[in-house]
Amino acid sequence: MYKQIGILTGGGDAPGLNAVIRAVVRTATGEFGMKVIGIEDSFEGILGETQTVKLTKKSVSGILPRGGTILGTRNRGSFAKIVDGQPVFPEMPISEALANLDILGIEALIVLGGEGTLAIAEQFHKRGFPVIGVPKTIDNDLAATELTFGFMTAIDIATEALDRLHTTAASHDRVMILEVMGRNTGWIALQAGMAGSADIILIPEIPFSFESVLRKIKEREREGSKFTNIVVAEGAREVGKGEMYADKEQLRLGGVGNYVRQRLEEMTDKEARCVVLGHLQRGGSPNAFDRMLGTNFGACAVRALASGQTGKMVALQAGTIVNVPLSEACANIKTVPVDGQLVRTARDIGISFAAPKESDL
């Protein structure tokens, strides 16, 4: 049994990180009698002059409903560089981090993160250091788990935004466009779009055409609805074109919502407005589901470490938490199946994905 373990949070923050931290500390210090050290600012906290904090049941008291992460996070750093779109893991920082973990007396790590952070965690495992990953991302794009914590809260926020846009769109007979997060996948756009009664959903998995968007707007007009609500994932792209970037060098997506607005105003006599929901989807308190999922993930991660497992990620499969190899979790991202049940249901109730021909789906 480990005497002392470390915990860190990496990548973009997501509602529910503190719920996981609290559950890890309570489980580890309670039943298993381990000490827990919080590593600050993701893996950066175990480089150079290390930044750590002792975590106790008392120090995590009251954090369950809090957004963000009490440990701080980074989604860019020293441990992975992107070369030709692929992560490359430099040798130096990992060796330095392993030496520092030894000095700090940290015998195993629980790492909360998305694909990038968990790929770094896997490098520690490959060097023989015990690691368990916990899947986090509002995008819900991690393979091997049905859900990541943070996603359901993001959907709630995007759905509320759509509800609010609905009434103003209807009052002004406008086209309203809501741009939501989702780098490579359209899970937030799809599920919030269905829950918030969007008329058109644009996702990275289904390139869209403006002809098809216009077809849907006109169809609604013929049926007597002079307004249209569109939800667009930040990574959505027009047929034959690439994603739109707010900052190409930093690979920061953004701009597709306003592009759709501008083009529709040029192509129709309708007024259009765009709202970019951005980091509102990541900030603030987790909903009840994410608090519960995060708590279960945290306790299961400690139990996995205590039972001698390593190189695994806790994952939700068929309503139960299981342990899957980190390599499996990082191998691919989980995209929206374009011929799957949810897309089919959305189409059946009249939602358009604006594929050049909807029958192409």
Q: Which stretch binds ligand F6P (CB under 6 A): 105-113, 177-185, 327-335, 351-359?
A: 177-185
User: Amino acid identity of 273?
Assistant: R
Instruction: Determine which one of 13, 139, 199, 290 is catalytic.
Output: 139
User: Amino acid identity of 266?
Assistant: E
Number of residues that bind ligand F6P (CB under 6 A): 13
Count Cβ atoms below 10 Å from residue 359 Cβ, excluding itself: 7
Residue 21: CB minimum distance to ligand F6P, A: 19
Residue 42: CB minimum distance to ligand F6P, A: 13
Residue 252: CB minimum distance to ligand F6P, A: 6
Q: Is 69 in the site for ligand F6P (CB under 6 A)?
A: no
Q: Which is nearer to ligand F6P, 7 or 181 (CB)?
A: 181
Biggest CA–CA distance in the chain, Å, is 71
Residue 74: CB minimum distance to ligand F6P, A: 10
What's the Cα-to-Cα distance from 6 to each of 40, 132, 261, rounded to whole Å? Answer: 10, 11, 47
The residue whose Cβ lies closest to ligand F6P is: 181
Q: Is 47 in the site for ligand F6P (CB under 6 A)?
A: no
Determine the Cα–Cα distance for residues 322 and 299; give it in Å rounded to an integer: 12
Residue 95 CB burial class (10 angstroms; 0-12, 13-18, ≥19): exposed
Q: Is 12 in the site for ligand F6P (CB under 6 A)?
A: yes
Distance of CA 338 to the CA centre of its chain: 20
Q: Which stretch binds ligand F6P (CB under 6 A): 18-26, 37-45, 178-186, 327-335?
A: 178-186
Q: Is 167 in the site for ligand F6P (CB under 6 A)?
A: no
Q: Is 5 in the site for ligand F6P (CB under 6 A)?
A: no
Alpha helices in the chain, H assignment, sequence order:
17-29, 91-104, 115-126, 151-172, 187-195, 210-222, 256-267, 288-306, 326-331, 341-348
Q: Which stretch binds ligand F6P (CB under 6 A): 33-41, 44-52, 134-142, 300-308?
A: 134-142
- Among 30, 33, 62, 75, the residue binding ligand F6P under the rule CB under 6 A is 75
What's the Cα-to-Cα distance from 26 to each of 104, 149, 351, rounded to whole Å? Answer: 21, 19, 45
Instruction: Please give the structure tokens belonging to residue 263.
Output: 């083009």
Nearest to 40 by CA among 14, 15, 10, 20: 10
Q: Which stretch binds ligand F6P (CB under 6 A): 164-172, 175-183, 291-299, 303-311?
A: 175-183
Decide: 135 and 30 in contact? Cβ < 8 Å: no
Phi then psi for residue 18, to 5 deg, are -70, -30
- Among 28, 46, 175, 181, the residue binding ligand F6P under the rule CB under 6 A is 181
**Is 139 part of the annotated catalytic residue set?**
yes
Residue 251: CB minimum distance to ligand F6P, A: 9
Q: Which residues are known catalytic residues?
A: 139
Q: Which residue ranges make up the site for ligand F6P (CB under 6 A)? A: 12, 75, 114, 137-139, 181-183, 234, 252-253, 282
